[in-house]
A and B are shown apart, each in its own frame.
Chain A
């Protein structure tokens, strides 16, 4: 079973078209393993992206270097999924 320990979901708020363009170029880099839950389209819509642990710090640095604001929407995805599974099993029982 795929493990998502350390994966974070960041909610990124681009503030101009240039930042959207930067995020789009990031989305094109498939080797990073980023999973865009919502895509970079306009400054009115936040971008949610799941970031694997192995590239988490480089991506955060990249965002800071490009002055792109973000917040952590999900701190550790596996924790959330473990809780989801626990609730499923408990309720089933």
Chain B
């Protein structure tokens, strides 16, 4: 085990325990900047850990989560890299420092810990939560179809054995409900970025309806800026747009709900796609993926900082 976060191998995949140890080390090393919040428990009783980066009280916040689909390991690995990047750059990078002097950043590195643990122990291809479905042998719900935004509509399955099973009712999954409760109780989140992999897309609401969201032109322009910044590092080309126009109709999705809660800068990423591995990217892709994604995240965070609402 590494003794500190400098000794952590960011270019390797890690188990849930290793990531949780990393979280605790990061908090211990940066007590004036980082704290850990437990926003709830997973179905199997694991803590839902969120890192809070904060330099003051009662600040507006930016939320980032990685890996709600457990098998997309490059997202959790990128989230770990982001956490270290934030503590490294605070006080050095003027843009991030300015943001953190005015806003908090919340980062949930392992959004679906039961699923993530399961991918390490039993089934590398596991994607959903691990809650049993009454009357079926198939386990789990797609947590990105379980939000109360067009829940139950087209673009999600009502069949528990489907990979896109929406669950019996909105927020049925504690992994989702815990975030919902946190967002509502916080009440002042200004940006919400949910990170998935793969296929190189940056998407904004809506997924459940073809009606454009009222901020579409601004979100579209910001997405263009973010993916341009992202591409400046390694030339990785992203597509961008609303979920329904860019991929497909999907109901019950995360950012549709957050947008409807009033969080204007709601985005979801689909990370790097080499065309060879799908979401099972080799570990040597972790750092380039995280580095380029960070540039896009910074674009979104800076815009949020510069455009208070």
Q: Please give, as numbers and ranges, the residues of chain A lying within 8 Å of B13 by CB-CB distance.
A: 84, 88
Q: Contact: A35 with B125, CB < 8 Å?
A: yes
Taking the complex as formed, is A51 at the interface, i.e. its CB lies under 8 A from any CB of chain B? no
Taking the complex as formed, is A38 at the interface, i.e. its CB lies under 8 A from any CB of chain B? yes
Q: Please give, as numbers and ranges, the residues of chain A lying within 8 Å of B248 by CB-CB distance.
A: 39, 41
Q: Please give, as numbers and ranges, the residues of chain A lying within 8 Å of B124 by CB-CB distance.
A: 2, 4, 81, 84
Taking the complex as formed, is B161 at the interface, i.e. its CB lies under 8 A from any CB of chain A? yes
Q: Please give, as numbers and ranges, the residues of chain A lying within 8 Å of B162 by CB-CB distance.
A: 30
How many angstroms from the CA of A41 to the CA of B199 in the assembled complex? 14
Taking the complex as formed, is A23 at the interface, i.e. its CB lies under 8 A from any CB of chain B? no
Taking the complex as formed, is A45 at the interface, i.e. its CB lies under 8 A from any CB of chain B? yes
Question: B residues 181-213 with Cβ under 8 Å of A?
Answer: 199
Q: Contact: A80 with B125, CB < 8 Å?
A: no
Q: Contact: B278 with A30, CB < 8 Å?
A: no
Q: Contact: B9 with A87, CB < 8 Å?
A: no
Taking the complex as formed, is A12 at the interface, i.e. its CB lies under 8 A from any CB of chain B? no
Taking the complex as formed, is B90 at the interface, i.e. its CB lies under 8 A from any CB of chain A? no
CB 8 Å contact bits of B282-308 with A (1 = contact, 0 = none): 110000000000000000000000000
Q: Please give, as numbers and ranges, the residues of chain A lying within 8 Å of B121 by CB-CB distance.
A: 1
CB 8 Å contact bits of B212-231 with A (1 = contact, 0 = none): 00000000000000000000
Q: Contact: A37 with B279, CB < 8 Å?
A: yes
Dominant secondary structure at the A interface? mixed
CB 8 Å contact bits of A1-19 with B (1 = contact, 0 = none): 1101000010100000000
Q: Please give, as numbers and ranges, the residues of chain A lying within 8 Å of B278 by CB-CB distance.
A: 9, 37, 48, 73-74
Report B243 CB to chain A, min CB distance, Å. 11
Q: Please give, as numbers and ranges, the residues of chain A lying within 8 Å of B14 by CB-CB distance.
A: 88
Q: Please give, as numbers and ranges, the residues of chain B lying within 8 Å of A9 by CB-CB distance.
A: 278
Q: Contact: B282 with A84, CB < 8 Å?
A: yes
Q: Contact: A50 with B125, CB < 8 Å?
A: yes
Q: Please give, as numbers and ranges, the residues of chain A lying within 8 Å of B283 by CB-CB distance.
A: 84, 87-88, 91
Q: Contact: A35 with B163, CB < 8 Å?
A: yes
Max count, chain A CB within 10 A of own CB: residue among B9, B124, B161 = B124
Question: A residues 20-67 with Cβ under 8 Å of B?
Answer: 30, 35-39, 41, 45, 48, 50
Q: Please give, as numbers and ranges, the residues of chain B lying within 8 Å of A87 by CB-CB distance.
A: 12, 282-283
Q: Please give, as numbers and ranges, the residues of chain A lying within 8 Å of B159 by CB-CB distance.
A: 30
Taking the complex as formed, is B280 at the interface, i.e. its CB lies under 8 A from any CB of chain A? yes
A1 touching B122 in the complex, CB below 8 Å, given contacts A45-B247, A91-B9: yes
How many angstroms from the CA of A72 to the CA of B74 in the assembled complex? 22
Q: Contact: A1 with B123, CB < 8 Å?
A: yes
Q: Contact: A2 with B161, CB < 8 Å?
A: no
Q: Please give, as numbers and ranges, the residues of chain A lying within 8 Å of B92 by CB-CB distance.
A: none
Q: Please give, as numbers and ranges, the residues of chain B lying within 8 Å of A37 by CB-CB distance.
A: 278-279
Q: Contact: A91 with B12, CB < 8 Å?
A: yes
Taking the complex as formed, is B276 at the interface, i.e. its CB lies under 8 A from any CB of chain A? yes
Q: Contact: B163 with A36, CB < 8 Å?
A: yes
Closest 7 CB pairs of A and B: A2-B123, A41-B248, A91-B12, A37-B278, A30-B161, A87-B283, A81-B124
